[in-house]
Amino acid sequence: MIETTGLFPVPVRTPLSEARDVGPEEYVAQDAPDWCAACGHAGVLESLRQACASLGLASKDLLLVAGAGCAGRVPRFFYSYGLSGPAGRALPLAAGARLANPDLCVVALGGDAETLGPGAGHLLHAARSNVDITFILLDNMVQGLAGGLAGPTTMLGHATPSTPDGCVERPLDPASLALVAGATFVARVYAGDGDLAGALIARAIQHRGFSFVHALSPCPAFNAVNTHAWMKERAGVLEDAGQQPSLAAALALALDTEKLWQGVLYETLDVPTCEDADPTICRSGAAVRESLGLSPKEIEELKEELR
Ligand code: SF4
């Protein structure tokens, strides 16, 4: 079903009760992934397809938003609405789209360097606002597209082209940052454990509020330290899907230096979403459905200008 504001068509979300049975192939785009062999991002892409298929999400109801770099290419390979913005800016674009059209299921993605570098402030504010979107941070612990330069999650002592004598800055942990910023759902997945990652991403999408997924996604081309074998060895799976009884317990797990725990570290439904709490949005409804108050002639002129 399509509604219109006069300027452009706005799809109306298909109720989940009417969802068709779909498989992951439903979301295969015309462009095939061109990442390097064994890149973790390909695993995350497949898990995201699995997650959307398990929820029966129609492509027209789904918007993927990414930034730049290797992670920024995910929307190109996924059949849905999608866009890639500037480095680290996926979150404000995603939040804006969701607030304008609450019918959209919005999933944003970003690499570790862009998200925790130029985009760090956006992550904190998206988490504290509890806008109802999902964010997947693809963490390969270097800057892949930049030839393996050190980034915000690079391990202490890791020698890279930009830190030939070893990285001297301590790494940030994405999951604990999201937790302290107020994310109401935080999970960690490993790209090489596709079925588990798909199930956890599906839970993140279903969560009402800001859901954060820390995806361990190796870069075989430019990170010879944090390889698939390295991540596999450390990626423990939390029992009973992992959800912790308190923020403190979740933080302790996120910061465990021995294990990279996979599972839902934390979830709470006690915080209202931005959409539910904001009086302007509550009063006015979806901005995308607001009438522009323009005559047919003015609409045609505006369309022509935007073409
Ligand atoms: S450079 Fe690294 S992150 Fe980028 S596509 Fe190649 S393996 Fe993947």
pLDDT in tens, 113-144: 999 999 999 999 999 999 999 999 999 999 99
Q: What does the pLDDT read at residue 303?
A: 85
Distance from C-alpha of 239 to C-alpha of 3, rounded to nearest angstrom = 45
Domain ranges of the chain: 21-272
pLDDT for res 1: 47
pLDDT tens-digit profile of 153-211?
Answer: 999 999 999 999 999 999 999 999 999 999 999 999 999 999 999 999 999 999 999 99
Q: What is the rounded distance in angstroms from the CA atom of residue 136 to the CA atom of residue 138?
A: 6
Tell which one of 34, 36, 217, 227 to mutate to probe ligand 1, the residue whose CB is within 8 A of the most ligand atoms.
36
191, 219 in Cβ contact below 8 A? no
Task: Please give the model's pTM, rounded to 2 decimal places.
Answer: 0.91
Ligand 1: list residues with CB < 6 Å: 35-36, 39, 41, 70, 140, 144-145, 219-222
Q: Do the beta carbons of residue 281 and residue 129 sit within 8 Å?
A: no
For the CA of 40, the closest atom of ligand 1 is 8
Other CB atoms within 10 Å distance of the CB of residue 60: 15
Residue in the block written with tokens 């996604």 = 217
21-272 folds as Rossmann fold (3.40.50)
User: Mutate which of 34, 44, 114, 145 to test ligand 1's pocket (most atoms within 8 Å of Cβ)?
Assistant: 145
**Ligand 1, atom 6, residue with closest C-alpha:** 36
Closest protein CA for atom 1 of ligand 1: 144
| Ranges of the chain with pLDDT below 70 | 1-19, 240-242, 282-283
